Amino acid sequence: MQWTSIAAIYSLLWVLSAFLVMPIGLRTPDEVEGHKVETGHADSAPINFRPGRIALRATVLAAVLMGLFYLNYIYGWIEVEDLNFFGDPPVKDLGY
């Protein structure tokens, strides 16, 4: 596998991981007692958003997923044929 392929797949996995870990640990004003929502802010907006922590969690998760992907690439645990859940498509008779 070329390094450009590894970088592209890791980038896709990082974005996926960021969306997966983003809601972990966030709290809305309804969940925290005594916190008032200021004028102009959404009631559902998180009060403890930490993008650095999200980026760190996404980086770790993407590295683990990339490691599993690369090991599967080397050892072939799951092949394309394993993902065919519906069987072979029917063959059409073209009448030749």
3-state secondary structure 7-59: HHHHHHHHHHHHHHHCCCCCCCCCCCCCCCCCCCCCCCCCCCCCHHHHHHHHH
Q: Could you tell me if 30 and 43 are in contact, meaning their C-beta atoms sit under 8 angstroms apart? A: yes
pTM: 0.78
Q: Identify the pLDDT of residue 29.
A: 82
Cβ atoms of 56 and 14 closer than 8 Å? no
Nearest to 58 by CA among 92, 96, 12: 12
Q: Looking at residue 75, what is its pLDDT?
A: 96
pLDDT, averaged in runs of 10, over the chain (96 residues): 95 98 88 81 85 96 97 94 83 76
Q: What pLDDT shows up at residue 39? A: 85
Give pLDDT, residue 44: 82
CA-based nearest residue to 57, from 6, 27, 16: 16
How far, in Å, are 22, 29, 47, 51, 67 from residue 26 at the CA level? 8, 10, 7, 11, 28
Q: Tokens for 95, please give them.
A: 């009448």
